[in-house]
Amino acid sequence: MHQITVSIKNLKDLRGILSNDEVLTHSERSQSILAMVYTAYIDKSLLESISQIILGFSAKVTLVGATTTGEIDNGKTITRSTTITLLFLEATSVVPITIKSELGDEEEMAMSLRHQVLKISPKAVMLLTTPLSSDVSVLIQNFTKESFAFEVFGGGAGDYAHECTLLLSGTEVFTSGVVAICFIGSSFQLKKHTFVGWSPMSKEMTATRAQGNTLFTIDDKPAFDIYTKYLNIKDDSEFFANAIGFPLLTKTKGDYLAKVPVSVGSDGSLAFISSVREGETFRLGFFNPEIIKSNLQDIKSSLNAFTPEAIFLFTCGCRRFALADDIQLETQYLADIAPVSGFYTIGEFCDIQGEVPQMNLAFIAVGMKESITFKPHKALPERKKKISSDKFLTSHMTVVGRLLYFINVLNEELEQQAITDGLTHLYNRRHFDAIFSATIRIAKRHNKLLCFLMMDVDYFKQYNDYYGHQAGDKALIKVAHCLKKNAQRADDYCFRLGGEEFGVLYKAENKDHALSFANMLRKSIENMHIEHEKSEISSFITVSIGLACKETNTISNESDYYKEADDLLYQAKKSGRNRVKIN
Ligand SMILES: Nc1nc2c(ncn2[C@@H]2O[C@H](COP(=O)(O)OP(=O)(O)OP(=O)(O)O)[C@@H](O)[C@H]2O)c(=O)[nH]1
């Protein structure tokens, strides 16, 4: 395998390149040639002329191309240009599959693509898509819905004006569809890496209303609020450029995926280029040069050990805005391992543990080789300028990074304090109010019984009067500790609702289970044997419990549900204390 990339200014340049000795020699030796054209110009006739020349060069050529928001020429980021990459393959064949489409038939397009790809069993499939005129998330999700035994990677064609993108396949130039380049051959090998390089900084938030690529509400408030409230980003012509620095980060398979909002709707909704799921949680992220540096170093050592013969980069156009001139450091970083080509995308993707998320802001590096004979690792040449001492980590960025880190930690501490009761360290009443409605809403999606338990310490006034207020505090801490110790499942929540009153929210298979759990809590408290001489029903501290269990679809009103548990607690007290009353 051998890769040559050149930038051309005109068709004469292209003809010159195709007649140079290096190209002719590799062409002769090759079984197939993949020619890729990446161009900033949304110019159909330019692509058609390029196609005529390249296809006329050799019958071995498979020609594909895309418009871009930046091109990569031997690792160098260049803009407003046209690059031609020729990948000479000695033992691999390349089969292109081209599907043109209209908006809305992505599912059909995906099925047809899948059917055609499966027939030829490729090792890897590189996809070029048209994100401005088709829903790429739907295409990719359906294409990879069932298991697949090939690697997938690629990116969306770009356009500086975000108006129209073009794909090229053979002699065809079109605005909507997909081109799949299938690599077939037993000696073809590939290694992919991806990272984002933005770090989370805010509290976790939930997409409470979303459909398709539109996010309407975050934590039940208009989604745009988070950009105005926390970042002072306005809904003006600069919105996209400002929001790039602060995308929403979702955690997927241990790593963060970034989603950058592209525009704001009149209802305060945010539009993205990939879909947003209701219930999805995320944090606001910030651009973190330290993470980028360390990810690049990891990729470099992994790719160096793989000894690729060519590297393709699919890197999000947004990275160029955020990294500005430093972008060169990122794309050139791998160029001393193998020739690096590629382009800046609108949305990029690659398979991660069997799934292919549509990414944003990501950097994808794909190393390829054909040789199966052992090659010793190339010792990495010393870079004249080490990445750790370069512009990536100017003192300014380090300070900003650390300040953000500080804010983050502070944020977490404040958040924890705001929801915790100072005496018992259980969740406080305020957090109960937030969790109670959220639990009811989320539980509606499951079929379990939701249980709300209200608990009150018996004869606690007498306890305080006899043992003193401080001893009373200690007793409350012990009761709280006992609750926490016994209610440990991920969706058990214990609260101090106020004074000597506690609440537990939990789920159960049925009422019998719910009741025995409540009785277990009650007995555990009595079994702590906290002496209570003034109790009329026991020698130790005991509690009374009201327990309201509900099928979640029968809860129409939170306050009625709360009152039901409260009334049951009252009945437990009235009927003798140290007992559970269930509905
Ligand atoms: N030590 C201490 N006492 C508290 C705290 N909060 C509330 N209390 C006391 O808890 C007692 C609650 O008394 P009551 O509401 O009369 O109830 P009770 O004595 O437990 O009687 P029953 O609930 O009917 O069994 C009051 O004396 C409050 O002052 C606290 O944080 N620490």
Residue-wise pLDDT tens digits, 136-164: 989 999 999 988 999 999 999 998 877 88
* Per-residue pLDDT, 445: 63
Ligand 1 binding pocket, CB closer than 6 Å: 423, 456-462, 464, 469, 472-473, 476, 499-500, 573, 577
> In this model, does residue 441 exceed pLDDT 80?
no
Which atom of ligand 1 is found nearest the CA of 460? 20
CA 517–ligand 1 middle distance (angstroms): 25
* Per-residue pLDDT, 499: 94
Torsion (CA) 497, 500, 506, 509 in degrees, nearest 10: -140
Atom 6, ligand 1: residue with shortest CA distance: 499
Q: Evaluate whether 268 touches 224 at the Cβ level (below 8 Å).
A: yes
Distances (CA, A) of 63 to 33, 50, 417, 477: 8, 10, 60, 72
Question: Which of 295, 285, 278, 340 is closest to 318 using CA atoms?
Answer: 285
Q: Are strands 205-211 and 167-169 parallel, antiparallel or unpaired?
A: unpaired
> In this model, does residue 456 exceed pLDDT 90?
yes
- Chain segment 2-24, per-residue pLDDT in tens: 999 999 999 999 999 999 999 99
Question: Model confidence at 388, in pLDDT bands (50, 70, 90)?
Answer: very low
Count CB-CB contacts under 10 A for residue 254.
Answer: 7
Tell me phi and psi for residue 114, to 5 degrees.
-60, -45
CA 581–ligand 1 middle distance (angstroms): 20
User: Which has more pLDDT, 403 or 320?
Assistant: 320
Pocket test for ligand 1, best of 460, 496, 540 (most atoms within 8 A of CB): 460
Which atom of ligand 1 is found nearest the CA of 462? 19
Q: Evaluate whether 556 touches 510 at the Cβ level (below 8 Å).
A: no
Which atom of ligand 1 is found nearest the CA of 464? 1
Task: State the DSSP H helix or E strand holding residue 302, giving kind and residue range, or none if neither.
Answer: helix 289-306
Residue ranges of domains in the chain, CATH in brackets: 2-196+290-369 (no CATH), 204-285 (no CATH), 420-582 (3.30.70.270)
Distances (CA, A) of 438 to 219, 362, 571: 10, 32, 28
CA 93–ligand 1 middle distance (angstroms): 80
Local structure of residue 113 (DSSP, 8 states):
H
Which atom of ligand 1 is found nearest the CA of 475? 1
Pocket test for ligand 1, best of 464, 467, 470, 473 (most atoms within 8 A of CB): 464
* Per-residue pLDDT, 392: 53
d(CA 571, CA 575): 6
Angle between helices 469-486 and 460-467 (to 10 degrees): 130
**Tokens at residue 1, please?**
């395998």
Which atom of ligand 1 is found nearest the CA of 471? 1
CA 456–ligand 1 middle distance (angstroms): 9
* Per-residue pLDDT, 269: 97
Question: Model confidence at 387, in pLDDT bands (50, 70, 90)?
Answer: very low
Q: Is residue 103 helix, strand or coil?
A: coil
Which atom of ligand 1 is found nearest the CA of 472? 1
d(CA 47, CA 67): 10
Q: Is residue 380 helix, strand or coil?
A: coil
Q: Evaluate whether 219 touches 208 at the Cβ level (below 8 Å).
A: yes
* Per-residue pLDDT, 440: 81
Question: Which of 71, 205, 179 is closest to 117 using CA atoms?
Answer: 179
Q: Is residue 392 helix, strand or coil?
A: helix
CA 573–ligand 1 middle distance (angstroms): 14
Instruction: Please determine, for the modelled complex, whether the ipTM score is greater than 0.90.
Output: yes
* Per-residue pLDDT, 325: 81
CA 99–ligand 1 middle distance (angstroms): 73
d(CA 535, CA 281): 47
d(CA 414, CA 420): 10
> In this model, does residue 390 exceed pLDDT 70?
no
CA 577–ligand 1 middle distance (angstroms): 15
Distances (CA, A) of 106 to 64, 113, 120, 283, 329: 20, 10, 21, 30, 37
Q: What value does the mean pLDDT take over residues 167-174?
A: 97
d(CA 469, CA 484): 23
User: Which has more pLDDT, 555 or 70?
Assistant: 70
Count CB-CB contacts under 10 A for residue 336.
Answer: 15
d(CA 145, CA 131): 19
Which atom of ligand 1 is found nearest the CA of 469? 1
d(CA 181, CA 190): 14
* Per-residue pLDDT, 398: 54
- Chain segment 275-293, per-residue pLDDT in tens: 898 988 999 888 787 888 8
Pocket test for ligand 1, best of 454, 461, 566 (most atoms within 8 A of CB): 461
> In this model, does residue 190 exceed pLDDT 80?
yes
Average pLDDT, the chain: 90
For the chain, give the number of residues.
583
* Per-residue pLDDT, 555: 82
> In this model, does residue 259 exceed pLDDT 50?
yes
Atom 12, ligand 1: residue with shortest CA distance: 461
Q: In what order do the strands lie in the sheet with 310-316?
A: 76-78, 71-73, 340-345, 310-316, 363-369, 189-195
Atom 1, ligand 1: residue with shortest CA distance: 472
Give the range among 433-442, 494-503, 516-525, 557-566 with minimum mean pLDDT: 433-442
User: Which has more pLDDT, 438 or 30?
Assistant: 30
**Tokens at residue 325, please?**
């001139």
d(CA 517, CA 251): 34
Which atom of ligand 1 is found nearest the CA of 473? 1
> In this model, does residue 371 exceed pLDDT 80?
no
CA–CA–CA angle 287, 292, 294 (5° rounding): 140
- Chain segment 197-214, per-residue pLDDT in tens: 888 887 889 999 999 889
Amino acid at 50: I
Pocket test for ligand 1, best of 421, 500, 569 (most atoms within 8 A of CB): 500
Atom 28, ligand 1: residue with shortest CA distance: 461
User: Which has more pLDDT, 45 or 447?
Assistant: 45
Atom 13, ligand 1: residue with shortest CA distance: 461
* Per-residue pLDDT, 282: 92
Which atom of ligand 1 is found nearest the CA of 423? 31
Q: Evaluate whether 26 touches 5 at the Cβ level (below 8 Å).
A: no
Q: What value does the mean pLDDT take over residues 557-570?
A: 94
CA 507–ligand 1 middle distance (angstroms): 28
> In this model, does residue 549 exceed pLDDT 60?
yes
Q: Is residue 246 helix, strand or coil?
A: coil
Atom 25, ligand 1: residue with shortest CA distance: 458
CA 461–ligand 1 middle distance (angstroms): 4
Atom 21, ligand 1: residue with shortest CA distance: 459
> In this model, does residue 374 exceed pLDDT 80?
no
Question: Which of 162, 192, 197 is closest to 326 using CA atoms?
Answer: 197
Atom 29, ligand 1: residue with shortest CA distance: 461
